[in-house]
Structure 1
Amino acid sequence: MDDYKNIYQKNGPIIYPGKIDSLKAFAGKNRVMLTGLFTSDPKITKYTVYWNSRQDSIVVPVKRTKNVDTVKTIISNLPEGIASFEVRTSDTEGHISIPVNIAANVYGALYQSSLLNRGISDAAIQPDGSALIIWADVNKDAGVKFMHIRYADNNDKTHDTLVVSSPTAMVTRLPNFKIGKSLSYRTAFLPEATAIDQFYTDYQSRSVKADVTKLYISNTGPFTRGAFDGNRWGILAAPWVTNATVINHSGYGGYATDSGGSLVMESGWSGSPNIINGKIYQTVTLPAGNYIFQVNNYTEALDPVYVVVASGNTLPDISSLSTALSFKRFSSKLYTDEVIQVPFTLTQSQAVSLGFLSTMQSGNQYWRVTAVSLLSN
């Protein structure tokens, strides 16, 4: 009854070495790491890993000990997608084990292209001089691990800071942040919790909002005067420049005692002359960056009044208003308090004039500004 054995066991019984145990595969960037254990069969001398439908393989020598041996190998230069692996062991006599199979994800350029830097909801200088960064929420499964931030402090020292990500309600404080400077940051992603490689976005610049008024402009409200008529009208103190058409109250104008000291234009009342291309401004040199010229005003003006930011040492006439870097008109509604913001961008350090432009010749009209400020953004 055992005659059939001679057909299938001409060379003796078939022997299988011990197979690799606890085989695991860990995803990576165009690579996969395989780990496993050898718990028995001291005769094992190597194992072979096959992939790509067995068209590719690698042989890894094994030096067994009397204990449980842990082995690890990395398969590189893999295409993005799912990779399947077959592992077989061999012993000193050339016997080959039964296969152990496993699959893993491989990440690459396609995954990299899908990554976006974590958003920043707001970034602003705080009263203590720190920059407060409020991060946009992310899904906890998005794979965001940390943000790598670079910034300069008030001593021009560059800092590289890593902040570990939390999905929601995350804020970061950067101490002693230099006002007027931007930060740059990138985001690190781990595509799977056990992946062996992290992926990074490109560095991205982010401006930090700050009130830079005191750094660049002065006499910002309540406004101070130079010459004064002893009653209500005066001329704004430096560095404000007031052109002659605004000085239309018996040699005074541009300043009034209203609201504790305001920047003012008025025409019509008490026979005060019309104002043609009236200009009040100050000129400063600003570094490259994004800015907002902010104005607190009240208006009874009938004709257009403009808040203007212009290159150079003066403001343009109304006929050339389009040459300004940026401008915005006061509200046309009478008896209105409002805050006007005029954003502008400088690509290089340059002189700019910040101020007000109006032609007022339609009867009695008046407007005042109680405060101005300059914000970096």
Structure 2
Amino acid sequence: MKQHQNIALYIIALMLLITGACTKIDAYKDKYLSNGSIVYPGRIDSVKIFSGRNRVKVTGLFTSDPKIVKYRIFWNSKRDSVEVPIKRTTGVDTAKVIINNLPEGLMSFEIRTYDAQGNISVPVDTAANVYGDLYQSSITNRPMLNAEMQPNGSALITWADVDKNSGIVNMEIKYVDKFSKSHDTVVTSALIGLTTSLPNFQPGNGISYSTAYLPNPTAIDKFNVAYQTHSVKAEVTSIYLSNTGPFQRATYDGRWGTLAAPWITNAAAKNKDGGTNGGYSSDAGGVINWETWGNTPVTNGIVYQPTSSPLPVGNYIVSFDEYSEIQANSSVYCVAAAGGNGIPVLANLSTALGSVSLFNNAVVGTTSPNINDTRSFTFTLTTPQIVSIGFLGNIIGNGNPGSYFQVKNIKLFKN
């Protein structure tokens, strides 16, 4: 009997526990689920963010849940956001929004969708770089290795090679052709071996160009470097100089002579035939030549010609081909000097616009190796002026074989 009483007590206690638990569950439902179960709208799919200049473009797809009526994008630790309404169709709908006025740097974004009852989806988190003034300050124009006039009248640009991660998209070029027609040309970038030909280019003009970058391949904004001007190397020899090689003679004894006009030869340059000839020989069809075999030295010998008209403001290159074999203590220079009255003697060489030594062998009793080379130098004019261009020589004799040099031609380029 007592055992039955105990079983009854256990059953009563168990029923009380079950009743209490049900009461707590009902209280929870009343408190938290009074409006029914929690509803999460479908999330946005296939989210992509495209970088830009102080902005981004956000795209995504709505592939499910036709009850979605809007979505909201949060950034700046959810302190800023933008809300975009959407009207769902029976198919796949696209989200597309641009967020402006963003600071430069890595930005995090959170995207949530909403239905008409205010239910909120779980978040979609993503991030992207935003570019601005710091990136702009880091980019530079693609270097031009060379820009030079061609025989067909075009200007050929040779571009420096670039790395595949450089971000360079194109180069925008502005120039004026020989018919005074302005051109605005876009050159699509290639990583290596890129050249660009500009037809009918006007010699003496420059090229203005700007390089465009994309900070990453999918960026929505290009960044352009400020336009800068690059000179085009153009040979202007025939415009300002004449008798430039093979050289023509004024006097002649069978080998030696003097240069024909417009070359001017000073007395010190005439070291042959008792001071009658010098500075020219018939070798190789006619060259500028001093030779001191037979103890016929040259001291401050000069041959020069003034340009036929003033050279415009700009940078110039004087280039020539020469061959020489020179003993110690001899010096020969190609020189450009302001004005039409000649080039300075060796002691005053520092007053020249520019010069280059064909050789300058300072070791007494030695002979320089044979030199067969193209030499050049540059000078700059800040005002238009006549310029004298020529050769200055101090060459010792020392019997046979002595010393000599030959200049085969001379050219003038505007750069």
Distance verdict in 2 for CA 1:321–1:17, change over 3 Å: same
Deviation at 1:176, TM superposition (A): 2.2
> Aligned residue for 2:116?
92
Q: Aligned AA for 1:124?
A: E
2:220 to 192, 196, 199: 196
> Aligned residue for 2:19?
none
Distance verdict in 2 for CA 1:24–1:334, change over 3 Å: closer
Alignment of 1:50 with 2:74, yes or no, is: yes
Equivalents in 2 of 1:29, 1:135: separation in Å? 27
Distance verdict in 2 for CA 1:137–1:361, change over 3 Å: closer
Q: Aligned AA for 2:267?
A: A
Q: Aligned AA for 2:269?
A: V
Equivalents in 2 of 1:246, 1:305: separation in Å? 12
Deviation at 1:214, TM superposition (A): 2.1
TM-score by length of 1: 0.88
Q: Aligned AA for 1:278?
A: G
1:253 to 275, 278, 290: 278
Alignment of 1:243 with 2:266, yes or no, is: yes
Superposition map of 1:1-377 within 5 A: 1=22, 3=26, 4-226=28-250, 228-247=251-270, 249=273, 250-266=275-291, 269=294, 275-284=298-307, 285-302=310-327, 303-313=330-340, 314-331=342-359, 332=361, 333=368, 336-360=371-395, 365-377=403-415
Deviation at 1:14, TM superposition (A): 3.0
Equivalents in 2 of 1:180, 1:70: separation in Å? 55
SS of the residue 1:140 aligns to: coil
**CA RMSD across the alignment:** 2.6
Deviations 1:61-117, CA, capped at 9 Å, x for gaps: 334444432221111222222111111223333333322221111122222222232
> Aligned residue for 2:9?
none
SS of the residue 1:304 aligns to: strand
Q: Which runs of 5+ in 2 are unaligned?
A: 1-21, 362-367
Equivalents in 2 of 1:69, 1:172: separation in Å? 45
Equivalents in 2 of 1:21, 1:300: separation in Å? 81
Deviation at 1:140, TM superposition (A): 1.9
Deviation at 1:355, TM superposition (A): 0.6
Of stretches 340-349 and 52-61 in structure 1, the one that deviates more from structure 2 is 340-349
Deviation at 1:241, TM superposition (A): 1.8
Equivalents in 2 of 1:82, 1:267: separation in Å? 75
SS of the residue 1:356 aligns to: strand
Distance verdict in 2 for CA 1:360–1:143, change over 3 Å: closer
SS of the residue 1:286 aligns to: coil
Deviation at 1:204, TM superposition (A): 3.3
**Computing the radius of gyration over CA atoms, which structure comes out larger, 1 or 2?**
2
SS of the residue 1:118 aligns to: coil
Deviation at 1:328, TM superposition (A): 1.7
SS of the residue 2:229 aligns to: strand
Q: Aligned AA for 2:377?
A: V
CA contact (8 A) 2:252 2:258 kept: no
Give the fraction of aligned pairs with identical amino acids, expressed as a percent.
51
Deviations 1:199-233, CA, capped at 9 Å, x for gaps: 1223333333343322322101111123x245334
Equivalents in 2 of 1:301, 1:98: separation in Å? 88
SS of the residue 1:245 aligns to: helix
TM-score by length of 2: 0.81
Deviations 1:117-160, CA, capped at 9 Å, x for gaps: 22333333333232333322222232221121223322232322
SS of the residue 1:138 aligns to: coil
Deviation at 1:175, TM superposition (A): 1.9
SS of the residue 1:322 aligns to: helix
Equivalents in 1 of 2:206, 2:64: separation in Å? 60
- Greater share of residues in strand: 1
> Aligned residue for 2:8?
none
CA contact (8 A) 2:287 2:406 kept: yes
Equivalents in 1 of 2:283, 2:122: separation in Å? 95
Equivalents in 2 of 1:150, 1:115: separation in Å? 20
Distance verdict in 2 for CA 1:12–1:252, change over 3 Å: same
Deviations 1:311-365, CA, capped at 9 Å, x for gaps: 2222122221101111122223265433321222334433221111124465565
Distance verdict in 2 for CA 1:241–1:99, change over 3 Å: same
Equivalents in 1 of 2:189, 2:395: separation in Å? 56
Deviation at 1:52, TM superposition (A): 0.6
Equivalents in 2 of 1:40, 1:305: separation in Å? 87
Count matched residues: 374
- Greater share of residues in helix: 2
Equivalents in 1 of 2:161, 2:293: separation in Å? 56
